[in-house]
Amino acid sequence: METYMKNKAQENEGYFGIYGGQYISEELKAEFDSIYSQFLKLKNDEKFQEELKDLFEHFSCRPTPVYFAKNLSKEYDCEIYLKREDLNHTGAHKINHSLGEALLAKKIGKKKVIAETGAGQHGVAIATAAALLGLECDIYMGETDIQKALPNVNRMKILGANVISVHSGQMTLKEAVDAAFEAYQNEYKTALYTIGSVVGPHPFPTIVEYFQSVIGKEAREQFITMTGGLPDCVIACVGGGSNAIGMFDGFIEDKGVKLYGVEPLGKGEKIGENAASLTYGREGILHGFKCLLLQNPDNTVADAYSVASGLDYPGVGPKHCYLKDTGRVEYKTINDNEAIEAFYKLSRTEGIIPALESSHAVAYAIKIAGENRGKKLLINLSGRGDKDIDFVLKHYPKKA
């Protein structure tokens, strides 16, 4: 993994092919370069690694298991396995990079973490890590999202975070990132921006990927122990791309393993109806980095939509854009209805209620099962669906 990253993607530090980079002020560049060099030092520091491992094991219940989904496998005539990131503390993979980023903040002497959140999942994870490590925590969240995700807002408040409502534009994730970034520019001497995915200016995509790569590292070993070999296909949903890149890192050097990233097609193919940045995006710059970006004909940033609010970001991690160009990962789409079907299917065949985000990956596995008879498919089940049950029952009820 290290060699692949260095030789092919990171010849030019902070760039993945033509994507990534740092489209920010000189002042912040100096700060980010300093954060990056401190991160690289800590990465090789035994004590830091021990502390991180301890948090992963005893706080977040790692390693999460790989589970053979027997009933689903039987129904679709192939072997379907789930990497159970839904069993993490706080219910999703986001705790992995949140613990890492908060520990990094603490080690480099910051008093506070600043973050954005959409549906509140990243906000809860970072507020949890901040509470544990004794850091102040400011979470920026669009007012529309606050109204939609009150239980998560309440969790953050209980955990001691300041939830700051953002009232500009659509009042959702994009505006929350804008506001958090602006606040951070005034506070960077005492605070660390703890971004929620493998997005943003260098070095954030690399730092978040590093903390998420534990998923793929564990999954590869677990899979070999269970089955004696590697999976034929590995499937993960892609919002910003952190759970997917963490999973893919474990298998990227295994050329025989097909890797699929699944984007949300939402209501359809038109700009504004989906959040499939890798499929319908054009090269552009958002939030300090270059990526494939959903844009209107006049090059303004388009609204992103998915039934899974954790997936509705108009941009995507720069490394995914690069992996698309190289062809190592295939990026596919699943629409709202297919994701909802998969949500019920996994709940009713395996007794596991998946997050709507993760349901996109499950739906794609089901879609390709027919052409993969007898083969082994490994899905990254990025999170659990507790947060989605009220919404699904209200808008997509289904009889027993």
CB of 32 to ligand PLP, least distance (A): 20
3-state secondary structure of 383: strand
Which DSSP string do the residues of 214-252 spell out, in sequence order? HHHHHHHHHHHHHHSS--SEEEEE-SSSHHHHHHHTTTT
Which DSSP string do the residues of 132-160 spell out, in sequence order? HHT-EEEEEEEHHHHHHTHHHHHHHHHTT
Give 78 or 286: the residue with its C-beta nearer to ligand PLP: 286
The pair of structure tokens assigned to 270 is: 């038109």
CB 273 within 8 A of CB 280: no
Q: Is 94 a known active-site residue? A: yes
| Catalytic residue (one of 218, 273, 382, 387) | 382
CB of 95 to ligand PLP, least distance (A): 10
Residue 378 vs residues 133, 235, 358, 362: alpha-carbon distances, Å: 34, 6, 13, 10
Q: Is 116 a known active-site residue? A: yes
CB of 390 to ligand PLP, least distance (A): 16
| Catalytic residue (one of 116, 263, 273, 338) | 116
Give 78 or 363: the residue with its C-beta nearer to ligand PLP: 363
Q: Which residue has the closest beta carbon to ligand PLP?
A: 383
The pair of structure tokens assigned to 15 is: 């760039």
| Catalytic residue (one of 31, 83, 85, 94) | 94
Residue 355 vs residues 149, 213, 345: alpha-carbon distances, Å: 14, 20, 12
CB of 338 to ligand PLP, least distance (A): 16
CB of 161 to ligand PLP, least distance (A): 17
Give 239 or 250: the residue with its C-beta nearer to ligand PLP: 239
Give 22 or 121: the residue with its C-beta nearer to ligand PLP: 121
The pair of structure tokens assigned to 256 is: 């025989």
Q: Is 382 a known active-site residue? A: yes
DSSP category for residue 62: P
CB 245 within 8 A of CB 207: no
CB of 111 to ligand PLP, least distance (A): 26
The pair of structure tokens assigned to 129 is: 């890590």
Residue 291 sits at φ, ψ, to 5 deg, of -160, 180
Give 79 or 318: the residue with its C-beta nearer to ligand PLP: 318
Give 78 or 278: the residue with its C-beta nearer to ligand PLP: 278
Positions in the binding site for ligand PLP (CB under 6 A) = 92, 94, 121, 197, 237-244, 310-311, 355, 357-358, 382-383
Q: Which residues have a catalytic role annotated?
A: 94, 116, 382
